Amino acid sequence: MRILIAEDDEVLADGLSRCMRSSGYAVDLARHGAEADSLLKGMQPFDLVILDLGLPILDGFTVLRNLRGRNCRVPVIILTARDHVADRVKGLDLGADDYLVKPFSLEELEARVRALLRRGLCGVNPMLSCGKLTFDTVARRALIGDQLIELTTRELGILEALLQRTGWVVSKEQLLERLYSYAEEASNNAIEVYIHRLRKKTEAAGITIRTIRGLGYVIDQTPP
């Protein structure tokens, strides 16, 4: 899952980014409102937005108004130092899904992110499975039977992308888009390394991750 963090405080933005990445999300950072607005207009969809109100160039209210004006229903959590009721009401009326006043607990933010993602999956099973492997897309964990698999955040991201299209080819380019922000450099070789590790860690699950040369990768149950 991919999250956009729009926050102009560099220390806070970096801390939020590390927190979300450690939970297994791909993260993009926007340092001002115009950048956030541009990213939200792009072809790469986001699963959730963490939005500061006091952004330069375009404030958070304007970014949110533009987003909802495009009929985009991506969940939005507002982060702000403004604790006036009028600001909270305005943000919620413009289409925010949640509101958190600074300073706040990272644990609480993570819980609110999980809650919104679950809400966004209403009517959709958050559990992906193949063979003996199950993946909880909200809790960000994978199991073989009832045994937790120790995976890095990148490995979790690749596994999720493959399981969402079980039996279908997922290209390296699609995996790179899921795993890395626009500001990060990545290579196809990195994907190959993660795939190699995933094969070793999931070999007991009764699944196969096949390389389709020139196209990408396919996850499926191992033939009997």
pLDDT tens profile 9-26: 999 999 999 888 888 788
Confidence bin at 34 (pLDDT 50/70/90): very high
Residue 188 has pLDDT above 80, yes or no: no
Chain Cα centroid distance, residue 190: 19
Residues 6+ apart with CB under 8 A from 31: 7, 8, 10, 13
Residue 177 has pLDDT above 80, yes or no: no
The pLDDT of 46-60, averaged and rounded, is 93
Confidence bin at 176 (pLDDT 50/70/90): confident
Instruction: Write down the pLDDT at residue 183.
Output: 55
pLDDT > 70: percent of the chain: 93
Rg of the chain, C-alpha, whole Å: 19
**Which CATH code is given to the segment(s) 127-221?**
1.10.10.10
Instruction: Write down the pLDDT at residue 123.
Output: 44
Instruction: Write down the pLDDT at residue 81.
Output: 85
The whole-chain average pLDDT of the chain stands at: 87
Q: Which of 141-155, 158-172, 180-194, 196-210 has the lowest mean pLDDT?
A: 180-194
Other Cβ atoms less than 10 A from the Cβ of 188: the count is 10
| pTM (2 d.p.) | 0.66
Are 219 and 209 within 8 A, CB to CB?
Answer: yes
Residue 54 has pLDDT above 60, yes or no: yes
Architecture of domain 2-120: 3-Layer(aba) Sandwich (3.40)
- The domain limits of the chain are 2-120, 127-221
